[in-house]
């Protein structure tokens, strides 16, 4: 019988913030929510950093791109 050992580097998986708060749809007009997942330079943060599930990451990607197209979010930062 093998003894279960936990690694020193193992981390608890992050819970998706959208499923935790019960959000069903990500709206491109909700800029306050979308800006939490975009860097200062305008890049979308990856799932491994934010803990967003695959399904909501795709919805977030579409919402960010649509908000950029509608000029609600900038494509690039103003340096």
Residue-wise pLDDT tens digits, 22-60:
999 999 999 999 999 999 999 999 999 999 999 999 999
Whether 70 shows a pLDDT value over 70: the answer reads yes
Whether 2 shows a pLDDT value over 90: the answer reads no
Burial of 63 (0-12, 13-18, 19+ CB in 10 A): buried
pLDDT of residue 43: 94
Q: Which of 44, 57, 43 is nearest to 14 (CA)?
A: 57
Tokens of 15: 């819970």
Measured distance CA(60)–CA(52) in Å, rounded: 9
| Single pTM value for the model | 0.80
Q: How many CA atoms lie within 13 A of 28 on its CB side?
A: 15
Mind listing the domains of the chain with CATH numbers?
Answer: 17-69 (4.10.640.10)
Alpha helices of 11-53 — where are they, by DSSP H?
17-21, 31-34, 47-50
pLDDT of residue 8: 73
């Amino acid at each position: 019988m093998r003894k279960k050992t936990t690694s020193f580097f193992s981390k608890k998986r992050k819970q998706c913030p959208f499923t935790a708060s019960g959000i069903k749809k990500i709206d491109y007009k909700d800029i306050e929510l979308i800006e939490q997942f975009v860097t200062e330079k305008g890049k979308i943060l990856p799932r491994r950093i934010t803990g967003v599930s695959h399904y909501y990451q795709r919805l977030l990607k579409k919402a960010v791109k649509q908000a950029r197209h509608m000029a609600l979010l900038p494509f690039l930062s103003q340096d």
